[in-house]
Structure 1
Amino acid sequence: MTKKLLILLFFLGSFFVQAQTLAWRTNMTDAIAISNEQKKPMLILFTASGVPENLQNEIFKTPDFAVWSRDNVVLVKLDLSDETASDGDKEQNVRLKNAFGVQDLPEVCYAIASVRKNKTTFSALGKISYKPGGAKSWIAESNNILHPSE
């Protein structure tokens, strides 16, 4: 009996872990298409290897963030140190970092984008970086950026 219970708990636990896996996009073209299709803004994480992982560990790896992000944004991760990225993607990511005024990594920018005549136009909604206080506080600040009139 206890063996069956342990097996059941194992499967339920693995299902719960898989349910929290976030779908980060790394291709901006795909992210823009999904953002426009779902009518959700993009949460663009600018990061690189060797940067502090507080934002990842204390915010992005929480169940609260997983639920909130699924309902509110399209997740985009632009790793500026990704050696597997093409030269064109690396250049694009650096241009986006500069266009959004990102100075310290990691930092999150909220934006929407439109494509007309093969020209992409971004509308920045706001930026947020790591601040101590946990996921609920970070989500509240993000909601203020995404829904300023509420």
Structure 2
Amino acid sequence: MNKKLLLLIFFLGTITFQAQNLVWKTSMDTAIAASNEENKPMLIFFTASSAPNNLQNEVFKTPDFAVWSRDNVILVKLDLSDANASDTDKEQNVKLKNAFGVEDLPEVCFASASIRKNKTTFQALGKLGYKPGGAKAWISESEAILHPSE
């Protein structure tokens, strides 16, 4: 009985640890390269320090999201209030926010991109903000955006 309990605690601890250690790319160049290499769309998370944390706390910090995101998307976090970002990155992030039509923060845009002749072309797949209902409901809506014909 003790072995089973210890094994269960270890398993749950591992999943929780993975959920809290998601790898968010902050460079669009790196994200686009990974997206194309792994043939996965990007989940671009637009946020700022003043934005509510419920999307992060109720969705992104869950084991369900960790597993789903690892298998389905490249995570990109564009913090529009990041004081450490270069002026070029800040300008690029604001341009992307405007190009994707993001008005309320935080918001997620799903997109793919290609680079040809040093020009980046984005294909927007859809947007999704915070909605009550937890990670499973949010993931279900994300799946509908990423796979609309299914």
Shift of 1:126: 0.2
Pair 50,9 (structure 1): closer, same or farther in 2 beyond 3 Å: same
Shift of 1:15: 4.0
Shift of 1:50: 1.6
Shift of 1:10: 8.4
Counterpart code for 2:18: A
Distance 2:103 2:130 in 1: 13
Number of positions where the alignment pairs a residue of Structure 1 with one of Structure 2? 148
Pair 22,8 (structure 1): closer, same or farther in 2 beyond 3 Å: same
Shift of 1:34: 0.2
Shift of 1:19: 2.2
Pair 149,13 (structure 1): closer, same or farther in 2 beyond 3 Å: closer
1:79 alignment counterpart: 79
Counterpart code for 2:35: S
2:51 alignment counterpart: 51
Q: Which runs of 5+ in 1 are unaligned?
A: none
SS at match of 1:76: strand
Counterpart code for 1:94: V
Alpha carbons 2:64, 2:135 under 8 Å: kept? yes
Does residue 112 (structure 1) correspond to residue 126 (structure 2)? The answer is: no
Does residue 141 (structure 1) correspond to residue 120 (structure 2)? The answer is: no
Distance 2:38 2:49 in 1: 30
Q: Which runs of 5+ in 2 are unaligned?
A: none
| Residues 58-115 of structure 1, C-alpha deviations (whole Å, 9 max, x = no match) | 0001111000000000000000000000000000000000000000000000000000
2:99 alignment counterpart: 99
Distance 2:145 2:89 in 1: 27
SS at match of 1:83: coil
Counterpart code for 1:147: H
Shift of 1:17: 3.7
Counterpart code for 1:88: T
Distance 1:71 1:10 in 2: 24
Pair 14,144 (structure 1): closer, same or farther in 2 beyond 3 Å: closer
Counterpart code for 1:42: M
Distance 1:115 1:69 in 2: 23
SS at match of 1:109: strand
- 1:58-69 matches, cutoff 5 A: 58-69=58-69
Distance 1:71 1:85 in 2: 28
Pair 58,19 (structure 1): closer, same or farther in 2 beyond 3 Å: same
TM-score normalised according to structure 1 size: 0.91
**Cα RMSD after superposing both structures:** 2.1
